[in-house]
Structure 1
Amino acid sequence: MNPAFSWALRALQLFAAASISLVIAVQLGLHNPFWAAMPVWVVAQPHREDLLLRAILRVAGTALGAVLGWWALTLLPDAGPRILVLGLAVGLGTAIAYWIGSVYSYGVLLAAITVAVVLVPAMDHPVDAAALALDRIWCTMIGVVAVTVITFLFTPPRPEPLPPRRAPRIGAVIGHGLIAAGAAMAGTLVLLLIGGPAGVGTALSLSIFSLIIGSNRNPAPILTYMPPASAIGVAAALGYRGLDFLLPDPAGMALALALPFIAAGAILRAHPRTAPLGLDANMCFLLAAEAGTKGHGFGAHVLGGLALVLSAYAFTAFFRRFGTTPPPAG
């Protein structure tokens, strides 16, 4: 197949999966419908076996994290214990995922990320714990089913088995876990000090970025792409929100306006030269824009977006200095 046609077809598949997921989530009245488009960018894989395994792990990990987050919000009314649960979830999730060091770590990663997604907003304002957890699960299932159904037939089987897993040094496992836990705790400290969109954005970004980077056996590419990708995603989010606030606001305008941005993100994600950048840019766009929803006012999106970008640059700089990964043991 012609390479240009191949990546264009892939972009069309990703656009269809992300758009359909977002539309379904909006029509179902889910509170955070943009969550439904997020699995599309990471569950889609070059090989069929990895696609199916990621789909299963995404759903299972999200369900586990949602239950743990709901439990913490329900049984721990005070901020202190919730912060400890968040730090423990992020630290242990990072360490375990790094120790696994294969595609199977994805489920652990998503469980820890979902705990953060459920817990962090509750540290700023009251939330319905059960509704938030269920919202996350439903959105994940919608996105996973959409991307699996749409891309499965176009995804070839793996031509050869994955390389064998190599055990990491225990010092690296502990170190990465401690760094991630510390980043999550630092984020919650900022949240408690300043609150609002900037505080929530900082706590959530530091928790998620530390999990993604700290759990990766080869974080160098992520350290390179994540900061500029976050800036691209937030710039697109602010452009989207600016247009949404300036244009007339008939029903469905926020949803319709999101589709061109998703199309651009699909092209960025599908093209071989920009695929790593496109992954993080799409995720940051959906999170900072709250695509498909009414939003929280342009100023709130600016503050939350700036917090996200600053967190990306700050944590990658910190990890470059203190998170150097030693070579794995034989």
Structure 2
Amino acid sequence: MNPASPWTLRALQLFSAAAISLVVAVQLGLHNPFWAAMPVWVVAQPNRQDLLLRGTLRVLGTAIGAAIGWWALTALPDPTARIAVLTVTVALGTALTYWIGTAYSYGILLAAITIAVVLIPAMDHPVDAAALALDRIRCTMIGVIAVTVITFLFTPRRRERLPPRIAPPWRIVLRQGLLGAAAGLLAGLLLRHLGGPAGIASALSLCIFILIIGSARNPTPMLTYMPTGASIGVLAALAYRGLDLALPDPAGLALGLALPFLAAGAILRSRARTAPLGLDSNMCFLLTAEAGTAGHGFSAHLQGGVALVLTAFCLTALLRRLPAA
């Protein structure tokens, strides 16, 4: 391995940003510290302007989504009303991000994802709505600051102009919104009838996957890579949790064990050939493993991981059968 190769340097940057984010979030006592490492894999960009824009939109979108999620949890105690909010926000998020079709859609995408992340666990069991929303915002800021500071000087400016935005036909925008609405409604129903780790994972992954895939102008690569990337991430998460249970349990073991997995994820994400798999596998690893925390027991992680992978395969198989947009 040539230590001076571009992908090696990039992997070191991403690993450093993800590891620092996770460590800081754990040390601050945040309830879901693994959220802090998630922005690293998507905010890092090939060009400096896009890096800054993504970071800004991620923070703004997360703050708006967390506020809406908090409002829904405090103002709407009825489960049916919360499912309605989830359905509407996933539908609007999918349609609007598809309609915008540029880097500026990222803030809306993150707002819709954050609403789902805040709402869905609270629809299964009681949570402190304000603490959950603030936890999401703090973790996002930690991850965005870390990846921006570490990669900024190594990220060149984009010199060419971006291609002009092409407005899609409204019928396609409407179709994407309807797909989002169907996924959001199904997520709420699955959560109500399944519940527990499997229900939460199914609902979360269904909302997040449809928002990401449904908002893409060309979803074909995602339909190809997402199930495999999700499978890799879940297998890594189960290996991580298995090791955490098998080894002695000194303070900090869960955090230390996560670092080799973050390093492997950084390598996957940094190489052009494996970058799409790296993105999906890193996100699914962090979500399923709840890296850096004590976790909820191997059975809970297994149920959640299996539900996530099944959702990825079923959703992508269904979307492949739909006529092209």
Smaller-chain TM-score range? over 0.9
Which amino acid in 2 is paired with 1:52? L
Match of 2:226 in 1: 226
Aligned partners of 1:117 and 1:81: how far apart in 2? Answer: 17
Match of 1:12 in 2: 12
Aligned partners of 2:50 and 2:323: how far apart in 1? Answer: 28
Match of 1:27 in 2: 27
The alpha-carbon deviation at position 161 of structure 1 amounts to 1.1
Aligned partners of 2:58 and 2:3: how far apart in 1? Answer: 29
2:268 partner SS? helix
Aligned partners of 2:211 and 2:3: how far apart in 1? Answer: 34
Match of 2:168 in 1: 168
Aligned partners of 1:231 and 1:15: how far apart in 2? Answer: 21
Match of 1:83 in 2: 83
The alpha-carbon deviation at position 96 of structure 1 amounts to 0.4
For the Cα contact (< 8 Å) 1:176–1:323, is it kept in 2?
no
Encode CA deviations 1:51-70: one digit per residue, 9 max, x unaligned.
Answer: 00000000000000000000
For the Cα contact (< 8 Å) 1:179–1:323, is it kept in 2?
no
For the Cα contact (< 8 Å) 2:88–2:184, is it kept in 1?
no
Query: Percent of aligned positions with the same letter in both sequences?
Result: 71
Which amino acid in 1 is paired with 2:234? V
Which amino acid in 1 is paired with 2:146? A
Within the alignment, does 1:58 sit opposite 2:64 as a pair? no
Which amino acid in 2 is paired with 1:213? I
Aligned partners of 1:324 and 1:115: how far apart in 2? Answer: 28
Match of 1:239 in 2: 239
Which amino acid in 1 is paired with 2:226? M
Aligned partners of 1:22 and 1:153: how far apart in 2? Answer: 22
Match of 1:179 in 2: 179
RMSD, aligned CA: 1.0
Aligned partners of 2:267 and 2:229: how far apart in 1? Answer: 14
The alpha-carbon deviation at position 4 of structure 1 amounts to 6.7
In the TM superposition, 1:173-322 aligns within 5 A as 173-322=173-322
Aligned partners of 2:174 and 2:323: how far apart in 1? Answer: 11
> Any stretches of 5+ residues in structure 2 without a counterpart?
none
Aligned partners of 1:78 and 1:305: how far apart in 2? Answer: 29
1:217 partner SS? coil
Match of 2:118 in 1: 118
Encode CA deviations 1:193-247: one digit per residue, 9 max, x unaligned.
Answer: 1110000000000000000000111111111100000000000000000000110
Encode CA deviations 1:115-162: one digit per residue, 9 max, x unaligned.
Answer: 000000011100100000000000000000000000000000102011
Aligned partners of 1:324 and 1:176: how far apart in 2? Answer: 11
Match of 1:69 in 2: 69
Aligned partners of 2:324 and 2:286: how far apart in 1? Answer: 30
Which amino acid in 2 is paired with 1:65? G
The alpha-carbon deviation at position 324 of structure 1 amounts to 2.2
Encode CA deviations 1:65-117: one digit per residue, 9 max, x unaligned.
Answer: 00000000000001000000000000001100100000000000000000000
Match of 1:136 in 2: 136
2:150 partner SS? helix
- Matched pairs, number: 324
Encode CA deviations 1:5-63: one digit per residue, 9 max, x unaligned.
Answer: 10000000000000000000000000000000000000000000000000000000000
Aligned partners of 1:320 and 1:122: how far apart in 2? Answer: 32
For the Cα contact (< 8 Å) 1:175–1:323, is it kept in 2?
no
Match of 1:96 in 2: 96
For the Cα contact (< 8 Å) 1:237–1:285, is it kept in 2?
yes
For the Cα contact (< 8 Å) 1:268–1:277, is it kept in 2?
yes
Encode CA deviations 1:264-302: one digit per residue, 9 max, x unaligned.
Answer: 000000011100110011000000000000000000000
1:248 partner SS? coil
1:302 partner SS? helix
Aligned partners of 1:92 and 1:221: how far apart in 2? Answer: 23
Aligned partners of 1:6 and 1:192: how far apart in 2? Answer: 47
The alpha-carbon deviation at position 181 of structure 1 amounts to 1.5
Aligned partners of 1:263 and 1:302: how far apart in 2? Answer: 23
Aligned partners of 2:257 and 2:268: how far apart in 1? Answer: 18
Q: 1:17 to 1:323 in 2, by over 3 A?
A: farther
Aligned partners of 2:3 and 2:34: how far apart in 1? Answer: 30
Match of 1:328 in 2: none
Q: 1:3 to 1:53 in 2, by over 3 A?
A: farther
For the Cα contact (< 8 Å) 2:3–2:9, is it kept in 1?
no
The alpha-carbon deviation at position 322 of structure 1 amounts to 2.3
Aligned partners of 1:227 and 1:100: how far apart in 2? Answer: 26
